[in-house]
Amino acid sequence: MKNWYLYIALLLFTACSSSGDMIDEMDELPNKSEEMMEEEETSANFVSDAHPTSGTASISEDGLTLSLSNFKSDDGPLLELYLATDLSAKTYVSLGDLKGLNGNYQYSIPEGTELESLKYVIVWCVEFRVSFGHAVLQ
């Protein structure tokens, strides 16, 4: 009977130590969630402001291209795409006229643009000084 208890104790000890080895091996694997978070830092989803606006804005690794994916917004008079420091676009860089209202588009970001302070991508109606929608880059 004592041998039976010894066998169970040995089995439990072996099981615990092998699972500990698995945890150590797992710690050595690359952390995929950190890699995904880095990718998310350069892209953001649009939210509606004065008009329905949706899609994703992302900036290339080199900081020279802004891409809109699955983008949709209402039409308006003189709509431009801004990179701005705030939602009121007090300080901004215009990337030019909005290229379309439904689809995927790319815009050149002027070389030397300090992206650290320009956290907002805004669909801006110049005539009425209002945001149709925006995305907040992290």
pLDDT at residue 12 is higher than 80: no
Task: Evaluate whether residue 36 is within a structural domain.
Answer: no
Same domain flag for 46 and 110: yes
For residue 10, report the phi and psi dihedrals to the nearest 5 degrees. Answer: -65, -40
Supply angle C-alpha 88, 92, 96, rounded to 5. Answer: 110
Instruction: Name the more confident of 116 and 31.
Output: 116
pLDDT in tens, 72-114: 999 999 999 999 999 999 999 999 999 999 999 999 999 999 9
pLDDT at residue 34 is higher than 50: no
Total domains, the chain: 2
Same domain flag for 101 and 126: yes
Cut 0.75: pTM above it: no
Report residue 48's pLDDT band, with 50, 70 and 90 as the boundaries.
very high
Mean pLDDT of the chain: 81
Task: Evaluate whether residue 75 is within a structural domain.
Answer: yes
Q: Which residues contact 112 (CB under 8 A, 6 or more apart)?
A: none
